[in-house]
Amino acid sequence: MVLADDEGTIVAAELVYRPDDCLAVRLVLLGPDGMEATWTFAWALLALSLMFSAGDGDITVRPAPGPIAGVEVALVSPSVARVWLPAEKAADFARKVREVREVRKRVGRDLSGITPALDLELAAITSGA
């Protein structure tokens, strides 16, 4: 992690995906004394960051410059911190998220299955059934 004053430090970071929040990924930074800072953003940004700059506002991602392939996640609050993630691990994580989403979609547990179910419920309520 590199802070706004360009001082770098190594911190443990974990990417977390929860199927109940299927559009998001959490970047959990583990600081000294067990302190945690969590940032939530669209998991698709992580996948895009392997090839392009993406994001707007408080979180932006891009391929990281340097001799080792990586992804840079810039976090703004109120200062800027840049977190470097190995590209191979970010790609593997994005691939696993995509696989989980595809399996859930096949069994009707993704967002795409919610709309028809809500339409049926709304129709039942408005028809007095």
The predicted structure's pLDDT at residue 113: 59
Class of domain 2-126: mainly beta
Q: Where do we find the tokens 């929040």?
A: 21
- Report pLDDT for 62: 93
| pLDDT band, very low/low/confident/very high, at 16 (cuts 50, 70, 90) | very high
pTM: 0.69
**Which residue in 83, 98, 114, 89 sits closest to 43, CA to CA?**
98
Q: What is the pLDDT of residues 37-84, one digit of tens each?
A: 888 998 888 888 889 898 888 899 999 877 888 999 988 877 788 889
Separation between Cα atoms, residue 101 and residue 33, nearest integer Å: 35
Contact 27, 36 (CB under 8 A): no
pLDDT tens by residue, 78-122? 778 888 999 999 889 888 888 887 776 666 555 555 667 677 777
Q: What is the pLDDT of residue 63?
A: 93
